[in-house]
Amino acid sequence: MGRNRRIVGVLTLVVATYLIVIPFALGLFSRTRDAQHLADRYRPVMNDQGVHQFRSNLALVNAGGKELFTKFLPELQTQLGLSDAEFKDFVASSYPHVAAFLTRVPVTVKYLNPATQAVLAQKDNFASADAFPVAGIPVTVGPWALLLLGIGVGVVGLLILLSEKLAGSVLPIIAILVVGLGLVFGPLVLGWFGKTDAADHVAQAARGPFSVAVSDATVNDTFSFNAAFVEMRKALFPAVAQKLGMSDSEIDAYLHTTYPALLKFLDKWDASIYKGARALSLSQIQYMDEFHNADATPYKALPWLFMAPGAVLLVGAAYGFAGRRRRDAGADTEPTGVGA
């Protein structure tokens, strides 16, 4: 076996081994599976319609909360003729869920608005990352592509080393040249560096919501706030109606007219916000392990996992072609001999 052929064959087998081993070494099968699950779950939230709906709901929450604290509660306290301390004791004793809500809201606002805005700001990055490796193709294809490509490259390497029929053929060298070019330039043409950078930004923004502390707080707040809003409608508002001498229909009309932002929020909460907030908050716990597994993916290194072996294959192909040129040049200059 020629030295040139042996070097090219061994180099090809080394690359093949790398391509086969790397998906298992980095756990890419489970990481990409979990990443795909997360993308499928949160795609409706992060598309244009989802982000617009989320921002609209957040605006209702903020406007309703502001009117509750700056108008409804102060006016209720005035109507009852209570001091600040007396009003606080009155709410705590008569409406414990509302009292817990009023105590918790300032803490919630500190994490809810910044965290929400940080995540929603990743809409474009989410769309870009969701298009990796190619728009419409699941990211789970990646490790299988590496594995199958490694097997194919390995077959070529074995043929170079073992097949005497291909000993002088240029076909195996052309094969590794084509694969090498695809591995090197494919990530560049498909924009993988931008997509994986976007995925890294999305992961950074999601680490807070998927932490134990924030996810537990979000779930607890969602359920406790709903309990407070139910208590407002079922107990506090009827008490206001009795105080003002109004019927159920009259107090409903009065509240919608006098406190439109608060009642608009409460109506929307009952209609859809609570259902969506409950599902979203629970998903932070449900998908926490999957997120952390996917988050361990070396996003920015993914293009290089393809390009580095591609570059090695190009070197091997270049060496193979150079060896053929040297051999052909030697054959051309070899004396043929003439009988005397």
Q: What is the pLDDT of residue 251?
A: 92
Burial of 168 (0-12, 13-18, 19+ CB in 10 A): exposed
What angle do helix axes 192-206 and 171-189 make, rounded to 10 degrees?
Answer: 50
Cα end-to-end span (Å), the chain: 36
d(CA 199, CA 127): 9
Listed residue (203, 220, 216, 231) closest to 94, CA to CA = 231
**Domain spans of the chain, in order of start:** 3-327
Q: What is the pLDDT of residue 52?
A: 92
Which H or E run contains 176? helix 171-189
Query: Is-contact 172 13, C-beta < 8 A?
Result: no
Q: What are phi and psi of 137, to 5 degrees?
A: -110, 125
| Beta-carbon contacts of residue 258 (< 8 Å; ≥ 6 apart) | none
Q: What is the pLDDT of residue 154?
A: 93
d(CA 139, CA 134): 8
Q: What is the pLDDT of residue 80?
A: 87
Listed residue (287, 286, 280, 288) closest to 54, CA to CA = 280
Listed residue (39, 53, 101, 46) closest to 73, CA to CA = 101
pLDDT by 10s per residue, the chain, length 340: 467 778 888 999 999 999 999 999 999 999 999 999 999 999 999 999 999 998 899 899 989 999 999 999 999 999 888 999 999 999 999 999 999 999 998 888 777 778 788 888 999 999 999 999 999 899 999 999 999 999 999 998 888 888 766 566 788 888 889 999 999 999 999 999 999 999 999 999 999 889 999 899 999 999 999 999 999 999 999 988 998 889 989 999 999 999 999 999 999 999 999 999 999 999 999 999 999 999 999 999 999 999 999 999 999 888 888 876 666 565 555 555 544 3
Stated pTM of the model: 0.83
3-state SS of 191-229? Answer: CHHHHHHHHHHHHHHHCCCCCHHHHHHHHHHHHHHHHHH
Query: Is-contact 62 56, C-beta < 8 A?
Result: no
Q: What tokens appear for 24 in the block?
A: 């298992």
Q: What is the DSSP letter of 270?
A: I
Q: What is the pLDDT of residue 66?
A: 92
